[in-house]
């Protein structure tokens, strides 16, 4: 491992340490929401009511929408977890906390009695609407505002390559 490689890894780890904390801090201070709260709110709305492609503010699992997702109006917990790249357990617990705060509701799914659908409550929708500009401003301040457009393009490419992972890199071999 060359010094350059070590340096890159350390730089990545450091940014991961500080950048998320800054945005989470802005969000928490401005709205009382945590990042996981915001991610779930945004993902539920996006799945229930698909936006223009490419306009997700939240992390997107490399796996596309799952086969049986039945994305229209019926947001299954597993579909949501898969789309977000979260474990079911993680999402289940997060939904529990958010249900206590009345930001989401779980209603029994009519098409499959084994589980529930997730819905935004009115309070959840309001919280999301209020949080979006805060997140956008914070990302602008701490992320996009710190980089040139060229750097943003390069970073996107780099992140995509890393996300793809070693398995999917067989042939292209660098």
Binding positions for a second copy, rule: CB under 8 A: 1, 3-20, 22, 54-62, 85, 136, 139-149, 151-166, 169, 174
Q: Which of these ranges, 54-62, 109-117, 136-144, 161-169, lies near DNA under the rule CB under 7 A? A: 109-117
CB of 67 to DNA, least distance (A): 9
Does 94 interact with DNA (rule: CB under 7 A)? yes
* Buried-exposed string 133-155: b where 16+ CB fall within 10 A, e elsewhere: ebbeebbeebeeeeeeeeeeeee
Nearest to 71 by CA among 92, 41, 99, 51: 51
CB of 114 to a second copy, least distance (A): 27
The footprint of DNA on this chain (CB under 7 A) covers a number of residues equal to 31
Contact residues toward DNA (CB under 7 A) are 21, 25, 34, 36-37, 68, 76-79, 86-97, 100, 106, 109, 112-117
């Amino acid at each position: 491992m060359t010094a350059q490689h070590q340096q890159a890894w350390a730089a990545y780890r450091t940014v991961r340490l500080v950048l998320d904390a800054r945005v989470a801090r802005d969000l928490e201070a401005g709205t009382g929401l945590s990042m996981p709260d915001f991610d779930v709110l945004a993902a539920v709305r996006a799945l229930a009511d698909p936006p223009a492609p490419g306009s997700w503010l939240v992390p997107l699992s490399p796996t596309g929408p799952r086969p049986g997702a039945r994305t229209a109006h019926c947001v299954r917990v597993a579909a949501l977890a898969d789309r977000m790249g979260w474990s079911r357990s993680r999402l289940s617990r997060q939904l529990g906390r958010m249900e206590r705060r009345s930001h989401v509701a779980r209603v029994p799914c009519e098409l499959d009695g084994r589980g529930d659908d997730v819905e935004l409550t009115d309070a959840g929708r309001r919280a999301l609407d209020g949080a979006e500009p805060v997140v956008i401003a914070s990302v602008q301040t701490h992320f996009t505002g710190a980089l040139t457009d060229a750097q943003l393009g390069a970073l996107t490419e780099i992140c995509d390559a890393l996300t793809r992972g070693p398995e999917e890199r067989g042939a292209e071999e660098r």
